[in-house]
Chains A and B, each alone.
Chain A
Amino acid sequence: MASDVTAGTMRKSTAGRLQPHRIVLLVIALAIVLASIFYLRWDWLPAYLPLALQGIWRTIWLLVVTSVLGILLAIPLGLAQAAGPWFLSVPARTFCTIIRGTPLLLQLWLLYYGLGSLFPQLPWIRESFLWPYLRQAWPYGVLALTLSFAGYEGEVMRGAFAGVPRGQLEAARAFGMRRWTAFRRIWLPQALQRALPTLAGESVLQLKATPLVATITMVDIYAVASRVRQDTFVTYEPLLLLAVVYMAITGIIVLAFRRLEVRIPTRIG
């Protein structure tokens, strides 16, 4: 029954998608794409292709790592705000307000230039095993993006934790579950389920924040495009390609989350 309905809507939507005016628009779009392939300059592409692939890989790596770390940080932040005592909830709320109230670019530069100028002056940091990493740019980029994601997502998780019906938690306690078990089995899964729809949007926003790390000398796909522009004085083509790459990654994120949401049942008591 359910599959019949989805099949019916699918057929209807494909018929709806191929209306005559859309075919005309598609032809125009195809013409623009072909024209930009043949009339714009792409001769720089083969030389920079390995670098570009590496840049795309680095962008995706940055996105995945900072999102995962950010969520891990956002869960305690959300929990502290939703149910914590004041000495936990006040710092958590302050952290979220500060992160959400200042531009990410400023946070990134504060960490990179500020900490970067502070660390070399401290001998015990220079002698520590972390120093070879702290001299590079990527730890600062990862840290800034992680904190930013945690700040935004912490606010979402606060709402998600608070939105889980009390009866669910009371039932868990009535079954004799320990607090940790109840959190792990009942509270956290239901809160994550509630946060899932916003998570897709937040991930896209996080993807759109990644090119900022190019300003602190990390070579992601955006930095590759900037280098092409500086080396060859070709302005539009790398930017166009860049936009296409980001749109493709956004599309993948949106589709992946849609599949995830279909797999996870949406009935919340």
Chain B
Amino acid sequence: MEAKLIDAIIPAAASGIFDLLALEPPGWGGNLLRGLLSSVQIALGAYGVGLLIGIGGAYGKLYGGPVVRDLLGLYTTVVRAVPELVLILMLYFAGTDLVNRVLIAFGHQPVDINGLVAGIGVLGIVQGAYSTEVLRGAILSIPQGQIEAARAYGMPPGLLLRRITLPAMLPFAIPGLANLWLIATKDTALLAIVGFNELTQTTRLAAGATKAYFTFFLAAGALYLALTLFSNVIIARVERWARRGTPQLSETR
């Protein structure tokens, strides 16, 4: 019974788990790590794109005209109401289609869009909607006097954003932004659906080729978990850095 169970968990028991996960080519460990690397790349890129969209979106929602505000409201509502999977398919197909149509219209050859760029773009648009809301809330919780004081000093808007708004909102935004980063790392798994070679897709290929499903999915899970826990350590440091000089939140509440 016991032996049967172990056999079932590791069909390639003769070669063993460590051979399967070895870094050298007969093992799949190197492929998994490469998959993790491209997952992290996409997550970083998408997070960056999302932050840029978020800063612009939050500014537009707070200071923009009525039309800009309504359009941004539509963007955040739609993106947050539709599953990421559907958005990824839509943006992936529509995005590559659109780029190729523009290229053809200008008399160029259609190109295959790089999977990395497409993934970063698609996830970045999704992340942008969430970070717009996070940053909007954070900017709203800056004491109004700080911004008024900066205006009274005659600071131009760009300088005000860089020197006052962004640093002052950071402590309020970090919990939400940290959450968004963790969501970004996990959302990269969805790109497996469009066949992009990140960690989950690599894992599925490896598991399908060796039939050692448990081994590979558990290994990939451990990698994702390690990424999350490592991120948590970094986030705690960043949070302490962003909070420097501000009173403890527990005291102010």
Contacts and interface: CB of A to CB of B under 8 A. Distances in A.
Interface of A: 19, 21-22, 25, 97-98, 100-107, 109-110, 113-114, 116-118, 121-122, 204, 207-212, 215, 222, 235-236, 239-240, 242-243, 246-247, 250-251
Contact of B90 (A106, A215, A239): A239
A121 B82 contact: no
B7 A109 contact: no
A246 B82 contact: yes
B94 A117 contact: no
B193 interface: yes
A11 B204 CA distance: 56
Interface in B78-117: 78, 80-87, 89-90, 93-94, 97
B6 to A, nearest CB: 11
A117 B83 contact: no
Given A98-B221, A102-B224, A106-B217, A209 B203 contact: no
Contacts of B9: 118
Given A106-B217, A242-B86, A250 B81 contact: yes
A57 B79 CA distance: 23
20 contacts: A21-B67, A25-B67, A101-B225, A102-B228, A103-B187, A105-B189, A106-B189, A110-B221, A113-B207, A114-B214, A114-B218, A121-B7, A122-B4, A208-B82, A209-B83, A235-B97, A236-B94, A239-B86, A246-B81, A246-B86
Nearest to A24: B67
Contact of B93 (A117, A222, A235): A235
Contacts of B182: 100-101
Contacts of B93: 235-236, 239
Q: Per DSSP, are chain A's interface residues mostly helix, strand or loop, or mixed?
A: helix
Interface string B221-253: 100110011000000000000000000000000
Contacts, number: 121
Contacts of B13: none
Contact of A243 (B8, B86, B229): B86
A235 B92 CA distance: 11
Contacts of A242: 86
A114 B94 CA distance: 34
B52 interface: no
Interface of B: 4-5, 7-9, 11, 66-67, 70-71, 78, 80-87, 89-90, 93-94, 97, 182, 186-190, 192-193, 200, 203-204, 207, 211, 213-214, 217-218, 220-221, 224-225, 228-229
Name the 4 nearest CB pairs between A and B, nearest first.
A103-B189, A101-B228, A110-B217, A208-B83
B203 A106 contact: yes
B204 to A, nearest CB: 7
Nearest to A25: B70
Q: Per DSSP, are chain B's interface residues mostly helix, strand or loop, or mixed?
A: helix
Contacts of A102: 186, 221, 224-225, 228
A103 B225 CA distance: 9
Contacts of A122: 4-5, 8
Contacts of A250: 81-82
B211 A117 contact: yes
B42 to A, nearest CB: 13
Q: Which of A22, A106, A109 gathers the greatest number of chain B CB atoms within 10 Å?
A: A106
Contacts of B83: 207-211, 222, 246
Contacts of B90: 236, 239-240, 243
B234 to A, nearest CB: 14
Nearest to B224: A102
A103 B187 CA distance: 7
A242 B87 CA distance: 10
A202 B16 CA distance: 41
B34 to A, nearest CB: 17
A106 to B, nearest CB: 6
